[in-house]
Amino acid sequence: MTDMGDGNLRGICVLGLNYTDQLLIAGGDGPLLALRTAVRDLLTDSFGAAQVTQMAPCGAIVIRLQDAPRDQLVEQVRAALARVPDCRLPAGQIHYATTAHAGIVWTEGGTEVAELIRIASAACAAANIRGLDLVEYDSVDHPHLQADILSARLLADAMSAMQDRRLVLYAQQIVDIDQTSRVRQYEVLVKMRDREGREHSPSAFLPLAERTGMICLMDGWIIREAILGHAEALVRMEHIHISLNMSGRTLSSPGFWRGIEEILTQTGIAPARIQFEITETSAIYDLARAKENVQAFRRMGCSVALDDFGAGLSGFSYLTDLDVNCVKIDGGLVANVVYPQRRELKIVEALVSLCSELGLDVVGEHVSSPQIFDILRDLGVTKMQGYAMGESVPYETIFTAPPGGVRPAMMAPA
C-alpha cells in the first residue's frame, strides 16, 4: 500500500468486536461471522463502501477517515460504536448481539497505509485492554502509542527473556524501625533487559503480562531465580529475608504451594524467611484455590502480605478471605499523609488501627521523605519502604552488604 497522500488531517480507524470468545461459546462461529458482516454493513452505510475493509483472519474492520474535519469524524466513529449493539442476529431463543471498541491514529501524510493500520490496530488493542470504547493517537509518534508498542514487544519476548536470563532481579529493603532487629528484609523486584541491552522497568511489561497466563510463568521464574538461584547465599546469610510478589492468576493456580514447598525443602531455607505479596489490585480468578495456597504457605511458616492495600475495592474482601499476616499500605495513600486537609491521613490512621486490632504487621510503602516517615512512625507503622529508606539495588548485591545493612539517616541515633 502507498501513503494516503497530502491534504487535511486524516486517520485510520480499526474497530473490533467485544467478547468474541463468549459468542463462539454461545453459538459457534456462525453468529460471530454474521455479526461481523452486519457491523461491516453498518459502517459501510456510515462511511461509504470505499472507506471500509475487513481484516482477515482477525475480523477487525478498517475505516479510512478523511474528507471531513477531525471532530466530525470522531463523532461518526462514536455514533457507529453506539449503534453496534443494534446489529442483532435472531437464532432460536437467542438474539445474538455485541458491542465494539476502536482505535484511531491521525496523520498528516507521509506514512504508508499498512503502517497506519498496524498502529491503529495497536490503539484498538489498547482500548480493549483498558475497557474503553475508543483510544486515539494524535500521531504515529504519540508517547502513549510508543509505550503500548514497547509493552507488547516486551511481552512477546518474555519467554526468550526468561530463557536468556534477561529478566534481572533487583531488591528494595523493607526497613524495620526497631534498630535492634538483626533481620534485613527485601522485596524482590524485576526488570527486563531487551536485546539491545536496555533495561525496562516492571511498569513496561508486568501490567500487560498480568492480563495473560504469561504472568504465571514469570512469577515462577522469579521465585525460582530468587531462591534456587541464590540458595547458597541465602542459606549462609540467615539474617536476610525476602518478599516475593505473586499475581492473582498465580495464586489461583491449583496446588501452587507444592512447588514452593519443594523449593524450600530442596534448599533447606527456613520458610519464616520467605514472604509472598499479593497485590490488592490483581484479580484472583479462583478464590477457593487462592485460599488453599495461602493457607498452605502459612502452615509451612511463610508470611503472606496484602500489597497496595487501599488502592482498590477488593482489599477488605481479601483481608477477610485470605489468611494474611501483613498489610502494605498503598503508596498513593502514604504519599499524601503530609496534607492534613486531605482524607488520606485519616484513612491511613484508620487502616493502621484496624491492622493493629487484627494483629497484622503494617508496612508503609513509597516513603519518600523524612516527614512521611515521622508521620507513619507516629501512627504506629513499624516497617517502611521507599526511596527515603533506600533505592532498589541489584539482587545479588544484598548478599555482599554488611550484616547491619544500611540505615537511613533519619533513623540514625540522636
Q: What is the pLDDT of residues 280-293, one digit of tens each?
A: 666 788 899 999 99
Q: Is the pLDDT of residue 99 over 90?
A: yes
Strands 361-364 and 383-384 come out as parallel
Length of the chain, in residues? 414
The pLDDT assigned to 90 comes to 86
Average pLDDT of 50-66? 86
Quote the cell numbers at residue 112.
504508508
The pLDDT assigned to 313 comes to 63
Single pTM value for the model: 0.86
pLDDT category of residue 31 using cuts at 50, 70 and 90: confident
The pLDDT assigned to 2 comes to 37
CB 79 within 8 A of CB 111: no
| Higher pLDDT pick, 391 / 6 | 391
Residue type for 312, please? G
Alpha-carbon distance of 334 to 340, in angstroms, equals 12
The pLDDT assigned to 407 comes to 59
| DSSP for 74-87, written as a single string | HHHHHHHHHHGGG-
Question: H/E element holding 383?
Answer: strand 383-384
Question: H/E element holding 132?
Answer: none
Average pLDDT of 126-138? 91
Quote the cell numbers at residue 4.
494516503
Identify the bridge partners of residue 103 per DSSP, sorted by sequence position: 14, 135
Closest CA to 176 of 350, 362, 347, 335: 362
Kindly report, residue by residue over 178-229, the tens digit of the pLDDT.
888 899 999 999 999 999 999 999 999 998 898 888 999 999 999 999 999 9
The pLDDT assigned to 334 comes to 95
Alpha-carbon distance of 100 to 128, in angstroms, equals 9
In Å, the largest CA–CA distance within the chain is 80
Closest CA to 31 of 125, 98, 120, 119: 98
pLDDT category of residue 231 using cuts at 50, 70 and 90: very high
Of 16-25, 87-96, 168-177, minimum mean pLDDT range: 87-96
The pLDDT assigned to 315 comes to 74
The pLDDT assigned to 212 comes to 82
Identify the bridge partners of residue 100 per DSSP, sorted by sequence position: 17
Could you give the C-alpha distances from 177 to 201, 215, 222, 383, in angstroms and in order? 28, 33, 28, 6
The pLDDT assigned to 93 comes to 82
Could you give the C-alpha distances from 370 to 136, 336, 337, in angstroms and in order? 41, 13, 12
The pLDDT assigned to 413 comes to 53
pLDDT category of residue 6 using cuts at 50, 70 and 90: very low
Superfamily of domain 167-399: EAL domain (3.20.20.450)
The pLDDT assigned to 7 comes to 45
Angle between the N-to-C axes of helices 287-300 and 256-267, in degrees from 0 to 180, rounded to the nearest 10: 20
Q: What is the mean pLDDT of the chain?
A: 90
Alpha-carbon distance of 266 to 245, in angstroms, equals 21
Quote the cell numbers at residue 293.
495456597
Kindly report, residue by residue over 141-156, the tens digit of the pLDDT.
889 888 988 999 999 9
* Angle subtended at Cα 73 by Cα 67 and Cα 76, rounded to the nearest 5 degrees: 125
Share of the chain above pLDDT 70, in %: 93
The pLDDT assigned to 302 comes to 97
| Higher pLDDT pick, 399 / 108 | 399
Alpha-carbon distance of 229 to 162, in angstroms, equals 13
Question: Is the C-alpha dihedral spanning 274, 250, 203, 227 positive or negative?
Answer: positive
Alpha helices in 210-255 (DSSP H): 214-227, 231-236, 248-251
Closest CA to 171 of 369, 396, 384: 396
Alpha-carbon distance of 3 to 56, in angstroms, equals 21
CB burial of 268-301 (b: ≥16 within 10 Å; e: otherwise) equals ebebebbbbbbbbebebeeeebbebbbebbbebe
Say if residue 411 is exposed, middle or buried (CB neighbours under 10 Å; 0-12, 13-18, 19+): middle
Closest CA to 205 of 130, 244, 154: 154
| Higher pLDDT pick, 327 / 410 | 327
Secondary structure class of 121 (helix, strand, coil): helix
* Chain Cα centroid distance, residue 139: 26
The pLDDT assigned to 377 comes to 95
Kindly report, residue by residue over 308-362, the tens digit of the pLDDT.
888 766 678 888 889 999 999 999 999 999 998 899 999 999 999 999 999 999 9
Enumerate residues 6+ apart whose C-beta is below 8 A from 206: 190, 215, 218
| CATH class of the region 9-142 | alpha beta
Domain boundaries, the chain: 9-142, 167-399
